[in-house]
Amino acid sequence: MTFSGEFFAFMALALVAIIGGVLLLNLNKVVHMVVALIFTFVSIAGIYILLSAEFVAAVQVLIYSGAITIIMLFGIMLTKPYDESEATTGKWRKILVFLGVLGFAFAVYLGIYHLDIQQVPTTLHEDNTLQIGKALYSKYIIPFEFVSVLLLVALIGAIILAKREDKEGDKE
Amino acid sequence: MSSVPASAFLALALILFCIGLYGALTKRNTVIVLISIELMLNAVNINLVTFSKYGVSPSINGQVFALFAMAVAAAEAAVGLAILMALYRNKKTVHIDEMNEMKH
């Protein structure tokens, strides 16, 4: 492994991403957890750029560090924000979950450690957005349309679920 | 070609997935559980984009799949949060261990 600029960029981005995740697990206030996760999302966008996926990186910044973080902050602020007491019971459960996750990580790591795929030159970095657009509108046109239907269903469903039911007397 | 091997990206995705899994299984606030699930989906997206560049047959398909996964994740976050709002209005709690009406 040579120490090139790409290597250092990857290490820095990976470090920031993991630190954001660890802060998510360890901070006390709920708002701080969400803000810590913004670091993770932005560094994942940087990782996408390293993998020559510029369009996905832009979408990552817009959707995750923008939209989803803001909607989660709204969710925290519309519910009761200042009750951050941790459950007193469940110490054993946490330890068991931690061991289980550790075992899972070890099992998957055994699978990916010796992974050695011959690297082939790609043209993904040339006109990345153009390639994605061509694929979306030719090969993936049916799933693309289904995603639009899915977003419409999610929009209507979210509005109906979150609508205030203050006219309960009229419904009866 | 590249000085960073594909397994490094996969290992980063694995670590982020495990952080998300631990958070989703142990955190008490439902919003944090939802956002941990988002982190897990994001880790899987890293895998998709990695294999779209370093896989056996590199192509743009992995990136397109990552975009589809992001759309589904956004829809899931919106619906999940709406369910949380409805639950909070009826039960006055956001703690996931108190949402147990289906037990009794």
The interface predicted TM-score (ipTM) is 0.89
Residue B30's pLDDT is 87
In this model, does residue A51 exceed pLDDT 80? yes
Cβ–Cβ pairs < 8 A, chains A and B:
229
Residue A171's pLDDT is 47
| Residue pair A40/A24 in contact by the 8 Å Cβ criterion | yes
Out of A94, A112, A147, the one facing B26 most closely (by C-beta) is A94
Give the residue with greater pLDDT, A121 vs A172.
A121
Out of A78, A117, A150, the one facing B54 most closely (by C-beta) is A117
Out of A7, A33, A56, the one facing B63 most closely (by C-beta) is A56
Chain A residues within 8 A of B56 when measuring between CB atoms: 117
Chain B closest-CA separation from residue A24 CA (Å): 8
Placement of tokens 């008490």 in the chain: B28
Residue A7's pLDDT is 87
Residue A68 neighbours by CB under 8 Å, 6+ apart: B35, B38, B73, B74, B77
Chain A closest-CA separation from residue B8 CA (Å): 9
In this model, does residue A124 exceed pLDDT 80? no
* Cβ contact, residue pair A18, B2, below 8 Å: no
Q: Minimal Cα distance from A87: which residue of B?
A: B28
Out of B22, B86, B94, the one facing A97 most closely (by C-beta) is B22
Question: Which SS3 state, helix, strand or coil, does residue A19 take?
Answer: helix
- CA A27 vs. chain centroid, Å, equals 19
Chain A closest-CA separation from residue B103 CA (Å): 19
Placement of tokens 């046109």 in the chain: A141
- Residue B80, CB-side half-sphere exposure with 13 Å CA sphere: 21
Residue B35's pLDDT is 92
In this model, does residue B42 exceed pLDDT 60? yes
Please state which of the ranges A59-63, A127-131, B90-94 shows the lowest mean pLDDT.
B90-94
Q: Pick the closest to residue B49 from B6, B3, B11, B2 (CA basis).
A: B6
Q: What percent of chain A has pLDDT over 70?
A: 89
d(CA A84, CA B73): 26
Placement of tokens 């817009």 in the chain: A62
Here the contacts of B20-24 (C-beta below 8 Å, separation 24 or greater) are B20/A21, B21/A101, B21/A104, B22/A25, B22/A97, B22/A98, B22/A101, B23/A24, B23/A25
The interaxial angle of helices B30-54 and A69-78, nearest 10 deg, is 170
Give the residue with greater pLDDT, A138 vs B94.
A138
| Residue pair A59/A42 in contact by the 8 Å Cβ criterion | no
Residue A90's pLDDT is 74
Average pLDDT over residues B46-59: 88
Chain B closest-CA separation from residue A85 CA (Å): 9
Sign of CA dihedral B28, A153, B45, A112: positive
